[in-house]
Amino acid sequence: MGFGLDDAVLARYAPGMSTQLQITRPDDWHLHLRDGAMMQGILPETTRHFGRAIIMPNLVPPVVTGADARAYRDRILAARPEGCDFAPLMTLYLTEDTDPKDVRAAHTSGLVTAAKLYPAGATTNSASGVRDFDKIQPVLETMAEIGMPMCVHGEVTDSDIDIFDREAVFIDQVLDPLRQRVPDLKVVMEHITTKDGADYARSAPGKLAATITTHHLIINRNHILVGGIKPHYYCLPVAKREEHRLALVKAATSGNPAYFLGTDSAPHTDALKENACGCAGVFSATNTMACLAAVFEKEDALPQLEGFASLNGPSFYGLPPNSDKITLTKGDVVTFPEKIETGDGPVTVFDPGFPIHWHISQ
């Protein structure tokens, strides 16, 4: 089964060949770190290559208030490897009871970068999310006033809507009407998976943007289902048809500033992934940059990689790019660990399904 890179592309990687690309240190604009022993185990996989990351707030219980965010940030900082200056960018979990005053205080103090909208029941630990979107109107108006972006998991949860259609329906029935009611709100459509999402994300420059994951650039729904169920490719939003994957690749490699990297790297232990009701999430922090280089190489778009991974995100969020660089070198096949051992159990690393020849160094 093909994973997007054909034999002609793989043939470019002759032994002894070496190509270097230096880019501004990237950021991850959608990251799950979990907490406790899991966070201790997987945090170094992100800090190795990324300068900053938007940290998802869907813990149990969720990060709802500024005080919650401060406490979670302190735990992340305490877990960083020695000498590491990785900066967690904190988010608040929007609920129907979120206090606009607390949101304003958390953002204007610099503690919190964004707020996250989860439709209730849409994904992992989203039970506390929003059911009645009218109830968060005051919060959204406050966010628009202070320039605080809203990150959104863009899927409806209606049981009568097919899981492969839920992103497109969300855009039409929820997101577009919401943006019409609060036109000054900055919105990040997280982990888009469809051509519909890619098309909509570029419709309002400066006010609307989208993150794209590494795995959605590489896999389609066949990779999950053909030849047996592959639980480590199962995520939400679920991967779609090949035509949608190709639309995402076109968007990511286009150079359009509306698109930037958000890995949605989401660790679950193998025991939680490999069972009759496996958790949704792909863990890609370990090899994301190397995989992205291969994707951009295939599209003859390596000059666009820095914008996608390192520049477009900071620009949308009103932050400066990182001041240091990383170097990507193409050479012999890279061997990545199959699993990351944590105090909670092993976490399987995303397998792109083809040889990776890009080495990352500082």
CATH number of the domain residue 243 falls in: 3.20.20.140
Answer whether 153's CB lies under 8 Å from 126's CB.
Answer: yes
CA angle 78, 54, 357 (to 5 degrees): 95
- 98 CB-side CA count, 13 A: 36
* Distances in whole angstroms, Cα of residue 301 to Cα of each of 7, 111, 296, 297: 18, 36, 5, 6
Give yes or no for a contact between 250 and 228, defined as CB atoms under 8 angstroms apart.
no
pTM score: 0.94
Is 162 one of the annotated active-site residues of the chain? no
- Which one of 68, 264, 344, 351 is the catalytic residue? 264
Identify whether 350 is part of a domain.
Answer: yes
- List the pLDDT tens digit at each of the 362 positions of the chain: 344 444 444 444 344 445 899 999 999 999 999 999 999 999 999 999 999 999 999 999 999 999 999 999 999 999 999 999 999 999 999 999 999 999 999 999 999 999 999 987 666 656 667 888 899 999 999 999 999 999 999 999 888 999 999 999 999 999 999 999 999 999 999 999 999 999 999 999 999 999 999 999 999 999 999 999 999 999 999 999 999 999 999 999 999 999 999 999 999 999 999 999 999 999 999 999 999 999 999 999 999 999 999 999 999 999 999 999 999 999 999 999 999 999 999 999 999 999 999 999 98
44 found inside a domain? yes
Domain range for 250: 7-361
Total number of domains in the chain: 1
Residue 187 lies in a domain: yes
Any domain includes 265: yes
Name the residue with tokens 């406790």. Answer: 36
- Kindly state whether residue 1 falls inside one of the protein's structural domains: no
Question: 224 lies in a domain?
Answer: yes
Evaluate whether residue 2 is within a structural domain. no
Q: Return the exposure string of 179-215: e unless at least 16 CB atoms fall within 10 Å of the residue's CB, then b.
A: beebeebbbbbbbbbbbbbbebbbeeeebbbbbbbbb
